[in-house]
Structure 1
Amino acid sequence: MKKEVKDTIIVELGEKLKAYPHFYLVDLTGLDAAKTSELREKCFKNEIKLLVVKNTLLQKAFEASEIDFTPLYECLKGNTAVMFAQTANVPAKLIKEYKKEGIPALKGAYAEESFFVGADKLDELVAIKSKNELIAEVVALLQSPIKNVVSGLNAGGKVHGLLDAIAERNK
């Protein structure tokens, strides 16, 4: 491969590292063409960008980045594919779906500005909540007291009785 082509690939990888806040390093060894195609299709549906890369080019892209990715250097052995995503836990859920077959095997990840090295970190990565999931939890927590008041009113309670009950509780 010519130096110009390598430089172009390094620049493109660097742009992806900036564009996507989360990425996973996986080993796809053992996937046949049909399974690889199926995985790529699932990645596309889940808004994950899957790229098979050369380890040396990825390391050079890491080195050129503003973020220090040295904890992931040890993962750059053997075959490596990168799963880029906007949501931290989506690739982990997809990998876990394939866990029975053991492919793709998690090598490492950069999610929520933290490094995860090793296949044993998969459950931690699946447990990370997305921004939308956290917002939904907060909204549910905020709605709970309002629902209690509304259900009390709908159950035939009078406003005066509810206010008295709240006043007694606060004493």
Structure 2
Amino acid sequence: MKKELKKQIVEELTQEFTKEVSVFYADFKGQTVKELEALRKQIREAEGKTRVVKNTLARIAFANNGIDVDFEENNIFVWGEDQITLAKILVKHATAHKDSFKIKGAVIEGEVKDAAYVEEVSKLPTKDELLGMVAFMMKAPIAKFAWGLNKLIEKKEQEQ
């Protein structure tokens, strides 16, 4: 790889791997092209990005943002704004491909986290799920009030 290309990749990754973005990394040794493409498609649909990069280049990009991370072996990097959705996708993929895909960790809000943390994050509800819960909770008192009024009307009709 030429020096100019390496510099360009480091510059791109430095801009992408900021503290506002969650970056996950995983070992993909043994994955087929079809399996990786399926994962990449899911990540794209979640408005995330994926890239396989040399560890040295990724380390430099993180260091440029003041983050000290150490990688080993082959890694695929996944990043985006919605850390919960990305974590869910990665954990689901890792569960389906236990022998060939292993989550190693993540850099979330500038802090290095391990694979166990990523799994815990994947169990949290997504933004859409939380909004649905809030809407349901706001609707519940009104629905109960309407149900109560309906029962009162039925009772009055039975008395007449």
**Normalising by structure 1, what TM-score?**
0.75
Give the match for residue 124 of structure 1. Answer: 120
Q: Which residue of 2 aligns with 1:164?
A: none
Residue 87 of structure 2 aligns to which amino acid in structure 1? A
Number of positions where the alignment pairs a residue of Structure 1 with one of Structure 2: 152
Counterpart-to-counterpart distance in 1, 2:12 and 2:120:
29
1:36/1:56 Cα in 2 relative to 1: closer, same or farther (>3 Å)? same
- Counterpart-to-counterpart distance in 1, 2:135 and 2:37: 39
Aligned equivalent of 2:140, options 123, 141, 144: 144
* Deviation, structure 1 residue 146: 2.0
Match of 2:157 in 1: none
Matched, 1:80 2:75: yes
Query: Does 1:21 pair with 2:21?
Result: yes
Corresponding residue number in structure 1 for 2:103: 106
The structure 1 segments of at least 4 consecutive aligned residues displaced by more than 4 Å after TM superposition are none
Matches within 5 A, 1:1-171: 1-18=1-18, 21-65=21-65, 68-70=66-68, 73-74=69-70, 76-98=71-93, 99-102=95-98, 103-111=100-108, 115-118=112-115, 120-157=116-153
**C-alpha displacement of 1:22:** 1.8
Task: Give the partner amino acid of 2:113.
Answer: F
- Checking the alignment, whether the CA contact within 8 Å between 1:95 and 1:105 is kept in structure 2 is no
Identity %: 26
Letter in 1 for 2:150: N
- List gaps (5 residues or longer) in structure 2: 155-160
2 CA distance for matches of 1:100 and 1:40?
15
Could you say if the C-alpha distance between residues 146 and 84 of structure 1 is closer, same or farther in structure 2, counting changes exceeding 3 Å? same
Whole-Å separation in 2 of the counterparts to 1:142 and 1:33: 46
CA RMSD of aligned residues (A): 2.5
Whether contact under 8 Å (1:95, 1:104) holds in the other structure is no
Shift of the 122–56 alpha-carbon distance from structure 1 to 2, 3 Å rule, reads: same
Consecutive unaligned residues in structure 1, runs of 5 or more: 159-171
Once residues 137 and 8 of structure 1 are traced to their aligned partners in structure 2, the CA distance between those partners, rounded to angstroms, is 44
Say if 1:52 and 1:81, in contact at 8 Å, map to a contact too.
yes
Deviations 1:97-123 (A, max 9, x none): 2314223311111346654213x3343
Asked if the contact 2:19/2:109 (under 8 Å) is kept, the reply is no
Distance 1:129 1:54 in 2: 33
Q: Structure 1 residues 148 and 112, CA, compared in 2 at 3 Å: closer, same or farther?
A: farther
